[in-house]
């Protein structure tokens, strides 16, 4: 068996086109574009690249982009002051603080300082609680992107056995809750799970987000399963060239021989994360304005 490739780039491009159309309708109704503010603290090179790509994608979608850069020496009080001003800014519908933050800043306090209605990352405790009990809230971008790929690939997920490997607040836990809402039977596995191989082998749907390169081999995967690999890890090229390459948490080469469908790394989940961020921004803008949901952006 050779797995079908789940093309995250193509799905993300389609979603971004829907977001742009929804953003244009919002502008017509409100007389202003939806706005996304991104806060970067410090000079981490990778974070700088991510922030620039988000700003570019926001403008391409017809929305307004606000980028705020603070030095690595910034105090927590300075970050909280900036967030307070963004919470009050009516041109800003979504706020994202690029992680990780410098050591002197409490990440939880920063996330809690973002108004839940502008929390387009979906990390605020109020949005996490809404997701847990099935209420409308803003959902973390990566898990929601994974769900979109799964539904595009398999249609109804009801009754399927899903295994999520990883229990972070960013991916693992919200992913499990989204799958439960789709009527899957869900198991969350993690570093303390006994006999992980047998747990993984039961999965019709396997979502892996543990940050360990190539840790799930194809021999563990149920034939025909749909595999969503959230991991992105840089490792040395085994040819000894001195170069590095990006791999996922799943051993793609062996898994692709067994799975029914699988996301590549890169080009799978990653593009969906930014597309869903843009989607969340328009959703937040409409909710804040008291407008009805845009059917094009429903999940």
- At residue 237, the 3 state secondary structure works out as coil
Whole-number percent of the chain with pLDDT over 70: 99
Judge whether 2 is annotated as a binding position. no
232 vs 12, 200, 211, 267, CA distance in Å?
17, 19, 7, 10
pLDDT confidence of residue 240 = 67
Mean pLDDT of the 101-120 span:
97
> Can 31-115 and 141-270 be said to share one CATH topology?
yes
Mean pLDDT of the 254-283 span:
97
pLDDT tens, position by position, 120-169: 999 999 999 999 999 999 999 999 999 999 999 999 999 999 999 999 99
Q: Which long-range contacts (CB under 8 A, 24 or more apart) does 137-140 make?
A: 138/280, 138/283, 138/284, 139/174, 139/178, 139/280, 140/170, 140/171, 140/174
Distance, in Å, from the CA atom of 225 to the CA atom of 206, rounded to the nearest integer, reads 7
pLDDT confidence of residue 293 = 86
pTM of the model: 0.95
**Catalytic, out of 54, 118, 173, 222:** 54
Calculate Rg over the CA atoms of the chain. Answer: 19
State the greatest distance between any 2 C-alpha atoms of the chain, in Å, as a whole number.
58
Structure tokens at 260: 């029914």
Q: For residues 165 and 209, is the Cβ–Cβ distance under 8 A? A: yes
CATH number of 141-270: 3.40.50.720
pLDDT confidence of residue 243 = 81
pLDDT confidence of residue 295 = 77
pLDDT over 80 at 299, yes or no: no
Judge whether 167 is annotated as a binding position. yes
**Catalytic, out of 98, 118, 182, 249:** 98
Q: Is 173 a catalytic residue?
A: no
pLDDT tens, position by position, 187-244: 999 989 999 999 999 999 999 999 999 999 999 999 999 999 999 988 887 766 778 8
pLDDT over 90 at 1, yes or no: no
**Catalytic, out of 121, 204, 229, 251:** 121
Q: Domain residue spans in the chain?
A: 31-115, 141-270
pLDDT confidence of residue 198 = 97
CA 209 and chain centroid, separation: 11
> Candidates 3.60.15.10, 2.60.200.20, 3.40.50.10860, 1.10.10.10; correct CATH number of 31-115?
3.40.50.10860
Judge whether 27 is annotated as a binding position. no
| Of residues 171, 237, 172, 165, the one with CA closest to residue 201 | 165
């Amino acid at each position: 068996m050779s797995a079908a490739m789940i093309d995250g780039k193509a799905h993300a491009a389609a979603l971004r086109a829907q977001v742009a159309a929804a953003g244009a309708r919002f502008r017509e109704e409100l007389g202003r574009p939806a706005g996304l503010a991104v806060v970067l603290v410090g000079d981490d090179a990778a974070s700088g690249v991510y922030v620039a790509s988000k700003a570019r994608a926001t403008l391409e979608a017809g929305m307004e982009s606000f980028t705020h850069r603070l030095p690595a020496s910034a105090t927590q009080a300075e970050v909280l002051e900036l967030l307070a001003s963004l919470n009050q800014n009516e041109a800003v519908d979504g706020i994202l603080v690029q992680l990780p933050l410098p050591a002197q800043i409490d990440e939880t306090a920063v996330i809690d300082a973002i108004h839940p209605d502008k929390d387009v990352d979906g990390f605020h405790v109020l949005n996490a609680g809404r997701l847990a009990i099935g209420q409308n809230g803003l959902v973390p971008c990566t898990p929601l992107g994974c769900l979109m790929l799964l539904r595009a690939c398999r249609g109804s997920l009801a009754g399927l056995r899903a295994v999520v490997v990883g229990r972070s607040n960013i991916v693992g836990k919200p992913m499990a809750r989204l799958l439960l809402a789709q009527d899957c039977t869900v198991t969350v596995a993690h570093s303390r799970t006994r006999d992980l191989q047998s747990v993984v082998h039961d999965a019709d749907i396997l979502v892996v987000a543990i940050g360990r390169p190539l840790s799930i081999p194809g021999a563990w995967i149920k034939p025909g399963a749909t595999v969503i690999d959230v991991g992105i890890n840089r490792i040395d090229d085994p040819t000894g060239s001195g170069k590095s390459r990006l791999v996922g948490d799943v051993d793609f080469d062996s898994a692709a021989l067994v799975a029914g469908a699988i996301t590549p790394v890169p080009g799978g989940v990653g593009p969906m994360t930014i597309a869903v961020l843009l989607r969340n921004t328009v959703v937040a803008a409409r909710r804040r304005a008291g407008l009805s949901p845009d059917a094009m952006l429903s999940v």
